[in-house]
Each structure stands twice: as C-alpha cells, then as structure tokens.
C-alpha cells in the first residue's frame, strides 16, 4: 500500500463522520481527488470493524488518518466536519464542534423540529451548512419547483414521489420534505397542515390543497425524486435522479469552501450556490 502525503497547498482540513459507510467512502474518495481539501480526521462508531485502520485503505492508499471512535481525537486537526450520519449522532458531534470551534457541513436527514432548533442555537457560535441534499442538481431543481408551483397555483394537484435504497431509515426522504416545503411556501401554505403521507381504504376525494407524498424503498437506488403537477388534460413532471453519491460529495466540498469565509451562522445549499 503506497503512502500519499497531504498536498502542502491544501487549505481545507476535513474530518468525515461515518467514515466507513457508503457516503463516508465517497467523501474520502472526493477528498483524495481534491486540489484544495484534505482528509484530517475519520470518525465511526466504536463497533465498526475499521476502527484503527487507515481511512483510505479501501482505495488501496494510505492517508495516514486512522478511523477513530474518539470524537475529539478525530476533530483535533480538522477545520470542518462533514456529517451524513443519524440525527442523534450528528447533534452530539455538533456539540463538540462548537466546543472546539470546528465548522460543519451536515447532510443528515430526519431531524425533529426540536433538534433543528438546537442546531440553530449551535450555529450562533460556529458556521454550519445544513441541507437535506448536497447535490447541486437537486438544489437547482428546488428552484425550478418554486417557479412551477407559483405558475401552477390553481387547477393542479401536487404529488411528490421518492425512491431510495433498502437501507434508508427515514421516510419521506429529507429531500422530498424539502421539496414539499419549497412548494408549500411558494403557494402560501403550511406543509404541516396540507401534507398527506399515506392513503389506504376509502379516503374520499382528494383535497385540492393537499401535497401528497409517496415513498419507495428497495435495492440500491441512490435517490430518485419526482414532483407531479397533475392538471386537467395535462401533467407536468419535474424529476431528479441520482446515479451516484459522488454528486453529494462534490456538493459537500463546495459547502466547505463556502464556509471558509464564514465564522458563524446557519446556511443551506441555496446560500452556497447563490440561489437566494
């Protein structure tokens, strides 16, 4: 196994949470290929069989960064943490990031309102980019949905269909919920009161003000999202399909670069991409 030293010109030192998972591997691979970002820490659960191993071993190269379950050890040499794990774990990580002055890019989904409020509090002291989907294409799609919702505000029923791999634990996906939030806001509605997440039995006619969600789980689907605007005599579908987690990794690195000039505050990918 060859040892590759970190580029001397690297400006962004990154720790990766969930380093041994699918997304963690994709992030580490993206960091290895980056000209201005370098892996500085790798975190995983104590039960992970990779604890103590080199974080880049799966690539056939050595980064010199071992996978650790010790949060402060993994963050000791990092300026930014990238976290795509679980809500409880992410919150615990952010508390320590706050203590150490480490910024964060959060792609974790499934947060409760109370957990989101806690993250906003933490962001008063450190800079955080948090988004349910780091893909550049998805965030452009969100803007398109906002435009479509305003133009199709009457006479069109709105349904959001999403599909992910069998291992995903939350439903609907964070991206689907974000799509619903963007559409509802554009229509002057509250998603909490107009969302329909399940239909079974005799449901009656569809409420024209509702926004429906359908969830598919199976196989190794990375992430498919379609928003259907169904009118009389026509249907409009806006779809985004992810073929690889590489898009999430590249978006995360763009978020890291955005944070370089921010000391504190809570941001999202619209901020990163200048879509406000």
As annotated, the active-site residues are 164, 168
**What residues contact 90, with CB distance under 8 A and at least 6 apart?**
17, 83, 106, 108, 111
Provide the terminal-to-terminal Cα distance of the chain, rounded to the nearest Å: 46
Q: How far apart are CA 51 and CA 266, in angstroms?
A: 31
CA-to-CA dists, residue 37 to 19, 147, 151, angstroms: 16, 35, 41
C-alpha to C-alpha distance for 213 and 14, rounded to whole angstroms? 36
Residue 164, SS3 per DSSP: strand
Kindly state the DSSP code that residue 207 receives in the 8-state scheme: P
CB-neighbour burial class of residue 39 (10 A; exposed 0-12, middle 13-18, buried 19+): buried
Closest to 231 (Cα-Cα) out of 180, 157, 159: 157
Tokens of 113: 């309102």
- Cβ count within 10 A of residue 45: 16
CA distances from 59 to 62, 85, 208 (A): 8, 21, 51
* Residue 29 DSSP label: H
């Amino acid at each position: 196994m060859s040892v590759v030293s970190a580029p001397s010109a690297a400006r962004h030192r990154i720790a990766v949470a969930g380093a041994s998972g699918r997304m963690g591997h994709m992030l580490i691979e993206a960091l290895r290929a980056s000209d201005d970002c370098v892996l500085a820490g790798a975190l995983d659960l104590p039960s992970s069989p990779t604890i103590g191993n080199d974080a880049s071993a799966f690539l056939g190269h050595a980064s010199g960064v071992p996978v650790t379950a010790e949060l402060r050890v993994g963050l000791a040499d990092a300026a930014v943490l990238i976290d795509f794990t679980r809500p409880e774990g992410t919150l615990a990580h952010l508390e320590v990031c706050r203590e150490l002055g480490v910024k964060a890019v959060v792609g974790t989904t499934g947060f409760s309102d109370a957990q989101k409020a806690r993250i906003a509090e933490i962001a008063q002291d450190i800079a955080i980019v948090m988004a349910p989907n780091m893909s550049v294409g998805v965030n452009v799609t969100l803007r398109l949905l906002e435009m479509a919702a305003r133009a199709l505000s009457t006479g069109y029923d709105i349904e959001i269909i999403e599909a992910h791999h069998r291992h995903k634990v939350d439903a609907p996906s964070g991206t689907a919920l974000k799509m619903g939030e963007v559409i509802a806001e554009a229509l002057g509605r509250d998603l909490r009161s107009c969302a329909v997440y399940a239909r079974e039995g005799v449901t009656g006619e569809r409420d024209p003000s509702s926004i429906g969600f359908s969830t598919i789980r199976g196989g190794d689907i990375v992430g498919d999202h379609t928003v259907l605007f169904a009118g009389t005599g026509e249907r409009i579908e806006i779809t985004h399909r992810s073929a690889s987690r590489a898009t999430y990794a590249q978006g995360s690195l763009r978020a890291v670069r955005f944070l370089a000039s921010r000391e504190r505050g809570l941001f999202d990918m619209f901020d990163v991409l200048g879509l406000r």
